[in-house]
Structure 1
Amino acid sequence: MSVETEWIRYGENGEYSGYVARMADVREPLPSVIVLQEIWGVDGHIQDVTRRIAKAGYVAFAPDLFSKDGFRQAGFEQDRIDEAKLFHNTIKPAQWADPEQRQAALASLPVQKRDQIESTLGKVFNTGGMLPDFTRQVAATSAWLRDTYEYSYGRGVASMGFCLGGTLSGRLAALDPELRGAVIFYGSAPPSESIPEIQCPVTGFYGELDKRITSAVPEFAEAAEKAGVAFEYHIYDGAQHAFFNDTRPSYYVDAARDAYGRTLQFMQQVLTDSIQA
C-alpha cells in the first residue's frame, strides 16, 4: 500500500505548518506519531522517517518548527539549512557546537558563502530561546491530531524526536497528560521540576560518545524512578550524537537498526487500544 504525503497548515489561525504521511487507502482514523525535527528542520531525513512511521500503520506528522504563517523565519530557510548541514558534515564532532573551531573550518570558503553558513549555524545552534514557542506548537500539534485531524481523530498520540526534537518529545510528555508515550533520540532531559508531571512511558536512545547529552541520562533516570515515571533507556557503545541520521557521517547502522526496532515495538505497546488474536 502506498503512502500519501502532503504539507498542511493547522492551528487556530493556520499559523503552523507540517508534513504528514499516512497510508493512502486507509480511511478510518489511526493512532498518530509526532516526528520532531533535529536542528536541520523538516528536511529530507525527517520526511523519510515520517514516511517510515506511516508505513508501520500510523498517521505520522512532522511539525515545521521554523515556519510561521506558512513562511520560514529568516535564516531558517531550508536551502540555507541544507547548505549549512553539508558543511557541518565535513567537520569533526568536536567542532560541531564550537564557534571558534567552526570559524577556523569556514576560513577556506569564499567570504559570502562563509558568512551565510556561519550565520545559519549560529541560528540553528542557538534555538534555546525559542523552546517555549516550539513547546507550544508541539502541544498544539498533539491536540490537533487527537481532536481535529480527520485521519487521527479520537485516537492516541505519541511522540518521537531527534536532538532538538528529542528534547521537545520529553517536554511534551511532561506537558500533555493525554500523550500515550514519548521517544527521545539524543535529546536533553526535561527540566527536573517537570519530570513528576510525566504520565506516559518514555524511552530514550543515546550515543556513548555524545557526552554532553548522555552524561545527564542517569540523573534523569533516577528522577523518573523517584517520581514513578516509566523511563527506559539504551546507550550505544561507540555511537555519536545523531547516530540515527543516515545522511550524516555520524550514522551508526547497528545502533540505528536496534533503536528503530525498539521504537516500533514501543509505539505498538503504547498506541494499540486492543488486539484480538
Structure 2
Amino acid sequence: MASLLTVGAKSLSLLRLPTHNLPPFASRLQIRSMAHSSSAFNKIQIQRDDTTFDAYVVGKDDAPGIVVLQEWWGVDFEIKNHALKISQLGSGYKALIPDLYRGKVGLNVAEAQHLMDGLDWQGAVKDIRASVNWLKANGSQKVGVTGYCMGGALSIASAVLVPEVDAVVAFYGVPSPELADPAKAKKPLQAHFGELDSFVGFSDVTAAKSLEEKLKTSGVPSEVHIYPGRGHAFMNTSPEGIQRRREMGLTDEDEVIVEQAWSHFNTWMSRYLSS
C-alpha cells in the first residue's frame, strides 16, 4: 500500500510501513509535544535556509561528530537512548539529534505514520546537512550520520546527497529511488537489517540484499549485515522500547545481537571518523 508525499513540485512515492496485527488505535489523531529533554542533552538551534530547527547534543565537544536520525516516532526516548549510547562508544563521540518533526512525536502507530507521511524528505536532507556542518563548525573534524527505520533511509540518502558527510551507518531502512539511489553513494556506508523484518521493500531481506548490490555498484566501501532471527527495530532495548515492539507483534529480543551490531557500528565509525 503506497502513499504519496509531495516534495516541492515532485511526488515522492514511499512505502507505508505495514500495520497488520497491530492493536487498534483511536481514530482521532493527537500529536503531543515532545517531552522535556534528558538532562544529559544540550538543546541548540540550527539555522538552514529560511528556517530554524531544534537539535539535541550529547558528548565531548572535541570528539568526532555523529548525526543521529529518528525513527518514524520522532525525537523520543529511544532515539535519545541511541544517541547517549553512541556518545559513550569507543573513545567517545559528539552525538546530535536534529528534530525533523519540529517538536512533534507520535505516541502510537497511527500518529507516527501520519507524521512520516507529512515529512518533507528533501527538507529533512537539508536538516541533516545543516547538522553535519554545525558539528564541523563546533569542534568535530569529521562527522558521520546514522539513523533507524525512517532515519536509516535518510542516512543512506545522506551518503548520496550530503557531500560533507564522512561515513554512514544505517539501520533497517532504505530510501525510495525518488529520494536517493544507493548506487550513487559517495561515502563509506554500513547497513544493518533483521532477517525476519516484514516491512517489504523498505527493510526486509530483499531490500537489504538489493541495497548490498547497489552499494557494490557505487564503488564506496560498504558492509551490509543481516541478523538471523531478528525483526524490525531490533536495536530498541529499553524497557519502553521492548514493550512498544511487543505491542507491534515484534517479540524477538537478543542482547548479544544488539551488542554485535554496536561493535560493527563503532568499528566502522572509528575507521572513517578518526582524524
1:24-83: per-residue Cα shift (whole Å, max 9, x none)? xxx5x221011111011111111121111112311100111111xxxx3xxx3x3xx23x
Which blocks of at least 5 consecutive residues in structure 1 are unaligned?
Answer: 89-117
Amino acid at match of 1:252: D
The residue matched to 1:235 in structure 2 has which SS?
strand
What's the CA shift for 1:228? 1.1
- Seen in structure 2, the aligned counterparts of structure 1 residues 134 and 125 have a Cα distance that, compared at 3 Å, is closer
* TM-score normalised according to structure 2 size: 0.72
Counterpart for residue 36 of structure 2: none
Counterpart for residue 36 of structure 1: 69
Counterpart for residue 201 of structure 1: 188
Q: RMSD across aligned C-alpha pairs, in angstroms?
A: 2.2
Which blocks of at least 5 consecutive residues in structure 2 are unaligned?
Answer: 1-38
Quote the Cα distance in structure 1 between the aligned partners of 2:112 and 2:163: 34
Give 1:93-104 correspondences, 5 Å limit: none
Counterpart for residue 114 of structure 1: none
Amino acid at match of 1:177: P
Whether 2:99 is the aligned partner of 1:64: answer yes
The residue matched to 1:62 in structure 2 has which SS?
strand
Moved over 4 A (4+): none
| Residues paired across the two proteins, number | 218
Whether 2:153 is the aligned partner of 1:151: answer no
Give 1:1-277 correspondences, 5 Å limit: 4-12=40-48, 15-23=52-60, 29-56=62-89, 57-67=92-102, 72=103, 76=104, 78=105, 81-82=106-107, 84=108, 118=110, 120-127=111-118, 130-146=120-136, 148=137, 150-152=138-140, 155-189=141-175, 191=177, 194-211=181-198, 212=200, 213-214=203-204, 215-246=206-237, 247-248=241-242, 249=246, 250=250, 251-273=253-275
Amino acid at match of 2:211: F
* TM-score normalised according to structure 1 size: 0.72
Identity of aligned residues (%): 28
- Seen in structure 2, the aligned counterparts of structure 1 residues 33 and 121 have a Cα distance that, compared at 3 Å, is closer
What's the CA shift for 1:156? 0.3
What's the CA shift for 1:240? 0.6
Indicate if the aligned counterparts of 2:174 and 2:211 stay in contact, CA closer than 8 A.
Answer: no
Indicate if the aligned counterparts of 2:191 and 2:225 stay in contact, CA closer than 8 A.
Answer: yes
The residue matched to 1:151 in structure 2 has which SS?
coil
Q: Which has the larger strand fraction?
A: 2
Indicate if the aligned counterparts of 1:177 and 1:198 stay in contact, CA closer than 8 A.
Answer: no
The residue matched to 1:52 in structure 2 has which SS?
helix
Quote the Cα distance in structure 2 between the aligned partners of 1:43 and 1:252: 22
Amino acid at match of 1:137: D
What's the CA shift for 1:177? 2.4
Quote the Cα distance in structure 1 between the aligned partners of 2:123 and 2:93: 26
Indicate if the aligned counterparts of 2:46 and 2:130 stay in contact, CA closer than 8 A.
Answer: no
Indicate if the aligned counterparts of 2:125 and 2:154 stay in contact, CA closer than 8 A.
Answer: yes
Q: Which has the larger helix fraction?
A: 1
- Seen in structure 2, the aligned counterparts of structure 1 residues 255 and 242 have a Cα distance that, compared at 3 Å, is same
